[in-house]
Structure 1
Amino acid sequence: MSATRTGRRPVVTGVGVIAPSGIGTEEHWGSTLRGELRVGPITSFDTSRYATTLAGQVEGFDPADHLSGRIVLQTDRWTWLGMAATELALSDASYDPAAHDPYATSVVFGAGSGGNDFGQREIQRLWSRGRQAVSVYQSIAWFYAATTGQTSIRHGIKGPSGVVVSDGAGGLDSLAQARRTISRGTPVVLAGGAEAGLTPYALTCQTTGGRLSTSCEPRTAYKPFDRSADGYVPAEGGATLVVEDPASAAARGAPRVYAEIAGYAATHDAHHHRDPSSDPRWYAEAMRRALADANLTPADVDVIFADGAGSRDLDELEARAIHVAFGAHAERVPVTAPQGLIGRMCAGGSALAAVNALLSIRDGVIPAVGNLDDPAPEYRLDLVRAPRQTPVRVAMVNARGYGGFNSSLILRAVSPAV
């Protein structure tokens, strides 16, 4: 168990969302509960030569509304989205890092693909116009740690900071690292992740994985746990969470506490760099160890926010892992994957899944599996078909990363008194 120095688990005091489902947490949450499908044709470049032409895009986002012109010039779209989500999270938590000791705050984000748009543009300049045409900022804008670095610079943050690279599991892994950092004495950590992989280069990289849907219709594209699931569609966006020592939150009068990070575990299949293992035991082991870390049992879990890969083999593997980990309770615990409405956004997706779980705890409602029409009965899961009003005190959030990463996070409601 990774608790704070006071023996209490860290809490989440602020969240910020920038996603295809909305700019801002409440806009995102409302769209999610309404079941609005936010997948459509990619508009940022010509996809006529690609098998995949659909994605979840953040509409109406203007970086100038959130960042200075200098930062916009020096950074990539994924950093814009991540820093904008961070501003929203800090506002939600009523926390200004500059008002505290510089070493009292840390930044740890998950990242999966880096600065694709900036990098694509500068590589094209290199090959068409020569090295003198390449921006000096190329050396930092593409880098996986760019958002972490730019965020720490902007807010004068000097606490232990870093970046976690574990593909789609990165958002959850960043929260685990935040928990470790707090246990070592830093009271506040900004964690989560955002991605912006909708460029020719990034789409080509994802295509090589063989998991993208080739459907031309949003309604028949990314469909987690559906009989007709044939892959996922990519998306941009993500979320930032303010993770805090509960004593710090109480001392400064934090306006809200969403939940505590009660447990976490991660495993790795160690099977193949690309093809998943057909054995669900290591994914199940991550779930079991996360529950043990939280001192909970499967019967205590009110909802599972699943990875929901949207491929029949990966969805089946996840269902089997849930059955292995939950035993007789597997068919009784509600399972959801609202990301079917917006697409998969690598590390940003698992960060957003954690926010969805926090909002379920806050509002007592479980969102439906996104874009699910015909659930595969052989999975034997209680897949949520429509928003379900029910008290939620314990939520499990699961995520997998390309190459064999498995992560499981347990979020638990706390009493109003931090």
Structure 2
Amino acid sequence: MRERLGVTGIGVVAPNGTTTEDYWAATLAGRSGIGPITRFDPASYPARLAGEVRGFTARELLPSRITTQTDHWTHMGLVAADRALADAGVRLADLPEYEMTVVTASSSGGTEFGQKEMTGLWGKGPDHVGAYQSIAWFYAASTGQISIRNGMRGPCAAIATEQAGGLDAVGQARRMLRSGARLALVGGTDASLCPYGLVAQLSNGGLSTQSDASRAYVPFDEKACGYVPGEGGAMFTVERIDGEREPIYGYIAGYAATFDPPPERERPPTLARAITRALEDAGLRPDEIDVVFADAMGLPAADRAEADALNAIFGPHKVPVTAPKTMTGRLYAGGAALDVATALLSMRDGVIPPTVGTTDPVRSLGLDLVLGRPRERTLRTALVVARGFGGFNAALVLTK
């Protein structure tokens, strides 16, 4: 019998709520955090909307030494990790340091920190580049800083699979827990809302250039026109559950990942295979899934591909599908992690949050979309789906 791996604590930093419960209240109320970019002047860019985390001041929450050495993305990861540990009631002193692990996901690393240092280099010379540039931009910076801050010296990792990273980090943490670790801090954040970061995101052609914040990111809609970028994410404490450990939000029941073939190949995409394997890993049938948290890219072809995968698996069993990320934008490595947090809160409270903005769903997609308002329902299982730019697919099954 496999060990049960339970999520015992959650920490969230999101565009529509800087704490877990604030985020959850806003999400159930359909309150969006998407608006005009304010972190810099976006007037010369085609995409001018984003899900910014407002009201988050790192220097009020972290020591100045850490905020000086690290990027905004790591600040949010550290705070989310602190809150996940506090939520779980973990006493780190009671756990062997080599039996605690950290796994985080990042899509872009510390782009804002890096841009500031490169501006200093080209504008003032090499003497104006700080020593911390060498580590603050790096994908593993959040994992390293969280590990150091909490004395977690077990095997650690950083995952870079774009939007799928939040789920892949959970999969990697599960391997470590099954190999002897007793506690994992796992999740993902991203924060690339700076000129350099936005230019990099524009290169994939997926960003919405719509000026109306309420209609800029409308997945599965007749007028879907791309997605809005965002920042933030979530962290969790995951533990091996041997007895009656409380509080437990839910269990990591199944996980799988696949990689799509290159576009020039004629092989089909592999999202359906990832979902099927995650269900098999969890020992569940499709009709035992109570809700799907969709990847919801907001591009017509990508939305149809996801709908086709879901319909192929669930068939006539119309499982409710939702995309609460329409209230935050796509948070890249933080997006799937935030979806996991949302799914766990949904199972806790017996309610499915809505997809906002989508008012004219594509009927031919055949999805039972939760639109407009939350839907109350007893939830014992949830499927979270994520896709990353470049062909990454991941699926995670959670049980209550």
TM range (shorter): over 0.9
Answering whether residue 91 of structure 2 is matched by residue 100 of structure 1, we say no
Instruction: Pick one of 153, 156, 159 that aligns with 1:161.
Output: 156
Aligned to 2:397: 410
Instruction: Pick one of 235, 250, 266 that aligns with 1:259.
Output: 250
CA 1:278/1:22 → structure 2, altered by over 3 Å: closer, same or farther? farther
Distance 1:115 1:188 in 2: 26
Contact 1:285 1:325 (C-alpha < 8 Å) held by counterparts = no
Instruction: Pick one of 9, 13, 27 that aligns with 1:18.
Output: 13
In the alignment, residue 306 of structure 1 is paired with which amino acid?
A
Contact 1:280 1:318 (C-alpha < 8 Å) held by counterparts = no
Superposed CA deviations along residues 268-299 of structure 1, whole A, max 9, x for unmatched, are 00214xx9x89754100000000000111110
Q: Where in structure 1 are there 5+ consecutive unaligned residues?
A: 1-5, 414-418
Answering whether residue 362 of structure 2 is matched by residue 376 of structure 1, we say yes
Superposed CA deviations along residues 100-151 of structure 1, whole A, max 9, x for unmatched, are 2111210000111000110000011111111111010000000000000001
Answering whether residue 387 of structure 2 is matched by residue 400 of structure 1, we say yes
Distance 2:91 2:163 in 1: 29
In the alignment, residue 54 of structure 1 is paired with which amino acid?
L
Answering whether residue 72 of structure 2 is matched by residue 77 of structure 1, we say yes
Secondary structure at the aligned position of 1:204 is classed as helix
Alignment of 1:151-300 (within 5 A): 151-247=146-242, 250=243, 254-272=245-263, 281-300=269-288
Contact 1:222 1:231 (C-alpha < 8 Å) held by counterparts = yes
Distance 1:333 1:381 in 2: 8
Contact 1:94 1:254 (C-alpha < 8 Å) held by counterparts = no
Shift of 1:98: 3.8
In the alignment, residue 75 of structure 1 is paired with which amino acid?
T
Contact 1:109 1:148 (C-alpha < 8 Å) held by counterparts = yes
Instruction: Pick one of 306, 309, 325 that aligns with 1:321.
Output: 309
Distance 1:84 1:18 in 2: 8
The percent identity for this pair of structures is 48
In the alignment, residue 215 of structure 2 is paired with which amino acid?
T
Superposed CA deviations along residues 365-386 of structure 1, whole A, max 9, x for unmatched, are 0011132211111110000012
Aligned to 2:345: 359
Q: Where in structure 2 are there 5+ consecutive unaligned residues?
A: none
Instruction: Pick one of 131, 137, 143 that aligns with 1:136.
Output: 131
Aligned to 2:336: 350
Shift of 1:182: 0.5
Aligned to 1:65: 60
Distance 2:354 2:63 in 1: 38
Q: Number of aligned pairs?
A: 399
CA 1:278/1:320 → structure 2, altered by over 3 Å: closer, same or farther? farther
How does the TM-score come out when normalised to structure 2? 0.97
Shift of 1:254: 4.1
Shift of 1:97: 2.5
Shift of 1:353: 0.2
How does the TM-score come out when normalised to structure 1? 0.93
